[in-house]
A = this chain, B = another copy of it.
């Protein structure tokens, strides 16, 4: 990875729909040359995908929460991790040092959905819920 690759990644980070032509102008390469480099970055597993930044509030989300789940039995944490990550409300699910636990970032339409979620995951551990007041 050279400085041109670094620059391409920077531009795609700001806007992943940027055209290869525009990027090319910035790095003194043709559009196909940029395309080739991007393809290589994908093949090397450096670029994993292209995603969207959404205003979840406008899509009906009223409550964002970080839920720490202290796992009942460490040996079951992997199963828990996989199942929880697949719930559609879940944005991130990280296993942390400290007490053996998952930190779950999830978005909910309302408190009733949050409560249902807490009850669903409480089979794996003891949940501790914090509401996000400001992002």
In the complex, which residues of chain B have a beta carbon less than 8 angstroms from the beta carbon of A73? 122
Assess whether B48 is in contact with A132, with CB atoms less than 8 Å apart.
no
Q: Mark A25-63, 1 if CB is under 8 A from B, else 0.
A: 000000000000000000011111111111100110000
Q: Chain A interface (Cβ within 8 Å of chain B)? A: 1, 9, 12-17, 44-55, 58-59, 64-66, 73-75, 77, 81, 92-100, 103, 105, 111, 114-115, 118-119, 122-123, 126-135
In the complex, which residues of chain B have a beta carbon less than 8 angstroms from the beta carbon of A46? 54-55, 58-59
Assess whether B66 is in contact with A55, with CB atoms less than 8 Å apart.
no
Assess whether A132 is in contact with B94, with CB atoms less than 8 Å apart.
yes
Assess whether A100 is in contact with B122, with CB atoms less than 8 Å apart.
yes
